[in-house]
Amino acid sequence: MPGVATEAPPLRRQYLVAVAVFALLLVASFVLFAHLLVEQFSRSYLEDVLLSGRAHAEELARQLGDDAPLYTVVEKRQEALSRISATLARQDVIQTAQVFDERGKLVWSTTTRTEGLIGGFPDANAELVLTAPDRVVETGTTYEIRVPLRDVGSVVVSVSKEALAPRIALLRRRLLLHTAVAGGLSLAVLAAAVAFIWHLVQRNARLAARRRIDEELAALGSLAANLAHEIRNPLNALSLNLELLEEALTEGSTDEGIVSLARAEVGRLSRLVNDFLVYARPSPPRRERCEVGELLGEVAALLRGSCEKAGVALTVTAEPLTIEADRGQIGQILVNLALNALQAMEAWPKRQLELRAARCGQQVAVEVLDSGPGIPPDKLPHVREAFFSLRKGGTGLGLAIADRIAQAHGGSLVLENREGGGLAARLLLPAAPEEAAA
């Protein structure tokens, strides 16, 4: 419908723009969330490491918490200090642990390394720049945690930034990876939701278009009924009077030819009105079990006289198949297709017409095959459009009606040019339930 064609592109553009904006906002939200998450977890990990270092410093201060002089206590507690040094070495991020006296002079220290640990008494002139107690001091390469040691000194544990950086970087990578996976899954869910919503939008658009078509067809059907009432009866009366006039005229007179021509034109108008009424107000199919071979035999009997008159060889080939369909409507389609084939072969040297039925998957294919000129490829997509005709004087409604009847039966009408010449009109209909299950 024209309305759908003009409304769909703007709707699609608006929908895609909304989806793109929402996707960008979602990606931006995930990026911001990932940044905040990484920063928060990195800070939390650093705080955990510093708290652990402070706990080790307090344990070291507790081991040295004796009333004896600090140097004496350090000498007595060498075993405990070695155990604490080994524990600090396993932390990998503790660089040094040092003990200073109240004057800031280094009394004892240990330095952890990957190949072991080095500890013991320091050089005589090693001193500490005194800082405020109970503080974490950040230097260029370490975080220094200072814990008071009674009133006689302090314990300083240094956390290496160089050893801490790879761990924080690994934590960041893992957090970013997990966030990216979560974001990818969210975007996949969003894409699925977008596709489903677009499917619903398209479905609603199709339903709205179908509703408009149904409304137009209803109005057209009412118009066709009035048209049939106003035109068909006068046409019948006119045809009857022309027939009586033709009988009253002497045979071979000029007036008789004019009357015959008038009767032919009245007949054409009558067929046009009838076809228009059938197209505008299609009746639902009254389904019944039909033997396809029997149906083709009835159609062939109706066509035999026309085929003999036109010099067309008619053959029927049918497998024993059954369909559930409206016998009258399907017969109407096949007769119309066969008559079209006969008219197409009027001036053709080779004239053969075949009615054939065969199984095609879950469907039954009923074919009308001719040896005529076929349909030009550029015209083939349009022959089923209403009022489109390749034959002079044709109504252009025959194939449109046939296509509509096929769809009402849950099937389709396929028109193809044959490789050896001619046209294949294939009517595909659902097989009867027991045959479809076989």
- Do the domain assignments include residue 391? yes
Cβ-contact 318, 296 below 8 angstroms: yes
- Residue 326: CB atoms within 10 A of its CB come to 19
- Do the domain assignments include residue 57? yes
- Do the domain assignments include residue 187? no
Predicted confidence band of residue 280 (pLDDT cuts 50, 70, 90): low
Q: How far apart are CA 60 and CA 326, in angstroms?
A: 99
My answer on whether 158 and 9 are in the same domain is yes
- Any alpha helices (H) in 64-108, and if so which ranges? 70-76, 78-91
Q: Which of residues 167, 199, 216 is at a domain's end?
A: 167
Return the sign of the alpha-carbon dihedral for residues 96, 99, 104, 107: negative
Q: What mean pLDDT do residues 28-55 have? A: 83
Q: What mean pLDDT do residues 191-211 have? A: 85
Least confident of 144-148, 297-301, 316-320, 431-435: 431-435
- Do the domain assignments include residue 382? yes
My answer on whether 301 and 429 are in the same domain is yes
- Do the domain assignments include residue 410? yes
- Give the rounded distance of the alpha carbon of 305 from its chain centre: 54
Q: Which of residues 108, 142, 167 is at a domain's end?
A: 167
My answer on whether 11 and 154 are in the same domain is yes
372-380: long-range pairs with CB below 8 Å, 24+: 372/341, 372/344, 372/345, 372/348, 372/421, 372/422, 372/423, 373/344, 373/348, 373/421, 373/422, 374/417, 374/418, 374/421, 374/422, 374/423, 375/415, 375/417, 375/423, 377/417, 380/415, 380/417
My answer on whether 155 and 291 are in the same domain is no
Q: How far apart are CA 10 and CA 16, in angstroms?
A: 10
Q: Which of residues 109, 142, 167 is at a domain's end?
A: 167
My answer on whether 161 and 292 are in the same domain is no
Cβ-contact 429, 409 below 8 angstroms: yes
- Do the domain assignments include residue 310? yes
My answer on whether 424 and 292 are in the same domain is yes
- Give the rounded distance of the alpha carbon of 371 from its chain centre: 43
Cβ-contact 99, 155 below 8 angstroms: yes
pTM, two decimal places: 0.46
Return the sign of the alpha-carbon dihedral for residues 390, 391, 392, 397: negative
My answer on whether 12 and 154 are in the same domain is yes
200 strand-pairing partners: none
Count of the separate structural domains present in the chain: 2
Instruction: Domain of residue 359: give its range.
Output: 286-436
SS3 label, residue 414:
strand
Question: What CATH number corresponds to the domain at position 19?
Answer: 3.30.450
The residue assigned the tokens 């030009």 is 376
My answer on whether 153 and 14 are in the same domain is yes
My answer on whether 158 and 292 are in the same domain is no
Cβ-contact 366, 429 below 8 angstroms: yes
Cβ-contact 405, 332 below 8 angstroms: yes
My answer on whether 309 and 163 are in the same domain is no
Question: What CATH number corresponds to the domain at position 349?
Answer: 3.30.565.10
- Do the domain assignments include residue 88? yes
Least confident of 38-47, 96-105, 275-284, 420-429: 275-284
**What is the model's pLDDT at position 3?**
41
- Do the domain assignments include residue 278? no
Among 384, 418, 381, 423, smallest CA distance to 401 is for: 384
- CA distances for 135 relative to 54, 123, 130, 138, 155, angstroms: 10, 25, 11, 10, 11
Q: What is the pLDDT of residues 286-320, one digit of tens each?
A: 889 989 999 999 999 999 988 999 899 999 998 88
My answer on whether 153 and 296 are in the same domain is no
Predicted confidence band of residue 52 (pLDDT cuts 50, 70, 90): confident
Whether residue 204 is predicted with pLDDT greater than 70 in this model: the reply is yes
Among 134, 52, 146, smallest CA distance to 99 is for: 146
Which residues of 86-170 form beta strands (DSSP E)? 94-101, 106-113, 116-120, 136-138, 142-149, 153-160
Q: What is the pLDDT of residues 363-417, one digit of tens each?
A: 999 999 999 888 888 888 888 777 777 776 666 778 888 888 888 889 999 999 9
